[in-house]
Amino acid sequence: MFSKLKLALIFFFLIAPIHLYADIPQEQIEVVRTLANEGDTEAQYQIGLSHLLATSGVKKDLDLAIRWFLIAAIDGHPGAEYQLGYLYYTGYGIQRDTEKAFNYYKSSAEKNYTEAQNNIGVFYKDGIGTKKNIALAFINFKRAANKGYAKAQYNLAMLYYKGIYVDKNYTHAAYWFRLAADLGNPKAQTALGEMYLHGDGLERNLHQSVYWLREARKKQEFKAIIQLEELGL
């Protein structure tokens, strides 16, 4: 169902609709704040983001951002849960707590929030805030990867490349690396370049290797920089 905030934004911007998760136009921030105070979870989330990122003419205030995220998370807003997971994991503005980060990411991921699915996959893979569970890491990476999330595609490819949980499969690894590389992920671009260089699951192709390594180097990916230096490029 649409929240009051979403309905209000659609009403205000019928001629030039905006992305509902983009910055709230500054002239509408007080409308959003009123809706937040009335209990609208989407508005609470957006006000939290505004205070976190200092957007929409709102002053940066981590305490207020966390407060609004916590309020929205009580009603299960997946975006607010994701932000809290990030803040608890990094300790940004709040005492670091990987178990709380895990729980918020997990709740958000269960609501199909793509970024949370990738992050909870990392937590399961590395045993952050929970016991290692590579099967659940694979499942969550796959869910996010299938929705076109480049980081998850890279993480899934690495499981195939290294043979973690699944049988080592360079063909599958190259497939997911390529999807992530096309989306601009520098780690995937580097991995794909190296696969072309060594002929791992792909026909060896120096031209393709250099192309992808150079794409990654544009983003200052250290491993790509070193590899190109070794090739004299």
Query: Which pLDDT belongs to residue 134?
Result: 96
**pLDDT per position as a tens digit, 66-76:** 999 999 999 99
Angle at 9 between CA 7 and CA 14, to 5 degrees: 100
Given a contact cutoff of 8 angstroms between Cβ atoms, the answer to whether 9 and 35 are in contact is: no
**Helix 78-90, helix 114-126: angle, nearest 10:** 40
Query: Which pLDDT belongs to residue 196?
Result: 96
Residue 55 has pLDDT above 90, yes or no: no
- Give the lowest-confidence range in 6-15, 163-172, 209-218: 6-15
In whole numbers, what is the pLDDT of the chain averaged over residues? 89
**pLDDT per position as a tens digit, 151-210:** 999 999 999 999 999 999 999 999 999 999 999 999 999 999 999 999 998 999 999 999
Give Cβ neighbours of residue 24 (< 8 Å, ≥ 6 apart). Answer: 32, 46, 50, 55, 56
**pLDDT per position as a tens digit, 91-106:** 999 999 999 999 999 9
Give the global pTM. 0.85
